[in-house]
Amino acid sequence: MITLYSHPMSPCAQKVRITLAEKGLSHEIRQVDLPGKENLQPWYLKLNPAGVVPTLTDGDHVIRESSLICEYLDEAYPEAGRALRSPAAHLRAEMRLWMKHVDTALHPSCGALQWPLVMRPRLLAMPEEKARALIEQVVEAPRRERQKRLYAQGLDAPDVAAAVATYRATILRMEATLAAGDWLQGDEFGLSDIVVAPYFQTLVQFCWTDLFSRDCPRVTDWLERVRARESWQQGIDAEIDGEKRTELARIGTEAWPSLTRHLAR
């Protein structure tokens, strides 16, 4: 039995859920309460010492890191669905470049944008001493220090300005790449698209689509086609209910002026 330790709004978990749907693999979802810091409890740290989601268990095997999980599923179950990696070596190399960009640049940027709006309010409702103690439990030092800044400064933190710039640079790179084909790894939808796509869910849910819709028609069309896939509907849409969507749209709309100020710099 495949079990995915997940959270509905985690883009890393979303890309694994999309991969599972594309492969048609039966699995169980175990939700981890990230705002409540369940990911820092001993039982979860035993599974994932970094204290992040997702984690995937497949029988006795424990697989960590979302991009590696996606590749694992495609490699371990070649008979399921269709291959999500190109047979061409140069396109697989391009796929891994997108994965590297997501892991090292786009994911931290997404965290810097989502955390002040989704996680920070719950911590602000706590006594400050308790909130800071929870942040101190974050395992990875860069993530811990970023959360300290975001807790203290919210959308005024320098991390937010850098995140907006990273998103915009990524969008322009995608617009250029898509001039050569329908998908990020050529003519076939695959892991390149899967690992990038959830980071656009962040823009959609917060009503921040002006970051690409105003001048990047290829990216706009790409996202429409990705969102039309059944795997998106299963892996993302089914996990976020209508009430939550309304709340995210509200807080995103309220935050948009802060983002546009960063974008104008």
Residue 182 and residue 225 in contact, taking contact as beta carbons nearer than 8 Å = yes
Q: Which residues contact 174 (CB under 8 A, 6 or more apart)?
A: 184, 196, 216, 218, 219, 222
Residue among 206, 189, 45, 175 nearest 110 (CA): 206
What is the pLDDT at residue 14? 97
Query: What does the block give as tokens for 53?
Result: 């989601």
Mean pLDDT over 14-36 rounds to: 95
d(CA 243, CA 57): 31
Q: What is the pLDDT of residues 90-131, one digit of tens each?
A: 999 999 999 999 999 999 999 999 999 988 998 999 999 999
Query: Which range, 136-150, 162-176, 250-264, has the best average confidence (pLDDT)?
Result: 162-176
d(CA 174, CA 80): 29
Q: Looking up tokens 């929870």, which residue turns up? A: 134
Helix, strand or coil, per DSSP, at residue 110: helix
pTM over 0.85: yes
User: pLDDT-derived band of residue 55, with 50, 70 and 90 as boundaries?
Assistant: very high
